[in-house]
Amino acid sequence: MEKILIVGHGSPKKTANNIQHVAGLLHNLIHPECDDNCVSVAYLQFAQPDILQGIAECVQKGAKKVIVHPYFLSNGMHVSSDIPEIIKDAEKKYPDVEFVYTEPLGVHDKMAQVVLERIHAASGLRPEEIETRSFEIISDETDLSNISDEKLPVVQRVIHATADFEFKNSIAFHPDAVKAAIAAIKAGKDILTDVEMVRTGINKRLLGKWGGKVLCSLQAAGEKTENPGNKTRSEIGIEAALQSKNNIGIIAIGNAPTALLKTIEILTSDSYSADGFPVVIGVPVGFVKALESKVLLSEQRFPFITNISRKGGTPVAVAMVNALLKMADERG
């Protein structure tokens, strides 16, 4: 068993002894599904545990190999002399344990990127500059080269909204989805949402440029007094909106799997008679019917954008719609 011990200098100021956050980030990076404490911290002075205590805890938890990383910027006396001496003492105490001592943080190109981020943060960047820099960071930290130019803005904006790189692998597009969505926006079509939060987040200025409006299906549900079959309000609203509105070009569902299932049912029924299909952005989040509804959406012949996972929600639906609105605006 292998354990990693991150060693900081330590400070009399307790709030400065916070490298456990770094340990947590590292643990999630290398062992995302692990519940064990594989990465722990220790301090050279002023704070607990000290290095020998940290090593002892690793050994007590069954470690046969302990990797010690000095969380220091340079190779000074602490890094080159003090910590190695402590490790020598540990080697004598635990002769059956292998110890690996790494280089400190030192000089690295990513350190320069961190400094640049701190400079930008202190400079008070404008919102558009923050967004541009965020997209640059996304490109630096993950490979999006296998995503087509047509789909890339949607994937980037979802990652930007969620800080979750897993979406680059889970978002699924119908071949005509992006083209059809942009055409609907430019044609002044309306956007129907399942909940008010999605409606609120959509950029109405960009949509209004083409004459479209954002509608919430719950408003339509409020007009319906009958509820056969104990349908959810989202189901009732989607059904009512699609029956009464003929200018819907995009349906954005970020919350209710039942609304997505009802949408699919209506659009695939023999009685559906609107002129063309709306683009369905279906990304409900949750554990009950969310994944199943998105898998079903991914099998449809009408244009859709979804993600094949339990993740999703309002931020994802809003990000997808706003990415399409921005694309329509840029293409004029």
* pLDDT tens by residue, 180-192: 999 999 999 999 9
**Domain 142-331 bears CATH identifier 3.40.50.10230:** yes
Q: Which CATH number fits domain 2-101: 3.40.50.1400, 3.40.30.10, 3.40.50.1220, 3.40.50.740?
A: 3.40.50.1400
**Which of 321, 317, 279 lies closest to 300 in space, CA to CA?**
279
pLDDT of the residue at 229: 59
Q: Give the model's pLDDT for residue 126.
A: 66
pLDDT for 272: 80
pLDDT over 80 (residue 109):
no
The better pLDDT of the pair 249, 230 is held by 249
Q: Point out the least confidently predicted range of 88-102, 195-209, 233-247, 313-327.
A: 233-247
Find the range with the poorest average confidence among 11-20, 131-140, 224-233. Answer: 224-233
Q: What is the pLDDT of residue 119?
A: 75
In angstroms, what CA-CA distances link 91 with 85, 99, 101, 281, 314?
A: 10, 7, 12, 58, 53
Predicted confidence at residue 96, as pLDDT, reads 95
Q: What is the average pLDDT across 40-69? A: 95
Distance of CA 223 to the CA centre of its chain: 36
Q: What is the pLDDT of residue 204?
A: 94
**Cβ–Cβ < 8 Å for 82, 44:** yes
Model confidence at 271: pLDDT above 60: yes
CB-CB contact of 106 with 73 (8 Å): yes
Using pLDDT thresholds of 50, 70 and 90, give the confidence band for residue 72: very high
Average pLDDT of the chain? 89
Averaged pLDDT for residues 230-246: 79
Select from 100, 133, 98 the least CA-distant residue to 116: 133
Cβ atoms of 242 and 262 within 8 Å: the answer is no
User: Prior bond to 257 cis, omega within 30?
Assistant: no
Task: Spell out a b/e string for 299-313, using b for 16 or more CB atoms within 10 Å of the CB, else e.
Answer: ebebbbbbbebebbb
| Residue ranges, CATH 3.40.50.1400, the chain | 2-101
Instruction: Give the residue with greater pLDDT, 136 vs 227.
Output: 136
According to the model, what pLDDT value does residue 47 have? 94
Confidence at 227, pLDDT banded by 50, 70, 90? low
SS3 content of the chain, % helix, strand, coil (to 5): 50, 15, 35
Rounded Cα gap, residues 332 and 329, in angstroms: 5
Question: Rounded to whole angstroms, how far apart are CA atoms 19 and 72?
Answer: 11
Among 3-7, 31-35, 247-251, 310-314, the least confident range: 31-35
Q: Is 27 a catalytic residue?
A: no
Helices (H), the chain: 20-30, 51-60, 77, 83-93, 109-122, 127-141, 152-162, 167-170, 177-186, 196-201, 204-208, 217-222, 233-244, 257-267, 290-298, 314-331
pLDDT at 306: 97
220 or 184, which is more confident?
Answer: 184
Cite the residue boundaries of each domain of the chain with CATH code 3.40.50.10230: 142-331
Q: Which residue in the list 31, 69, 160, 174 is annotated as catalytic? A: 160
Q: What is the DSSP letter of 40?
A: E
292, 198 contact by CB (below 8 A): no
Nearest to 312 by CA among 285, 281, 286: 285
Cβ contact 68:75 at 8 Å:
no
pLDDT of residue 97: 96
Q: Hey, which residues does 39 pair with through a beta bridge?
A: 4
What count of Cα atoms within 13 Å lies in the side-chain half-sphere of residue 87? Answer: 21
Indicate if the pLDDT at residue 28 is higher than 70: yes
Of 50-54, 109-113, 124-128, 211-215, the range with the lowest mean pLDDT is 124-128
Enumerate residues 6+ apart whose C-beta is below 8 A from 195.
216, 217, 218, 234, 254, 255, 256, 314
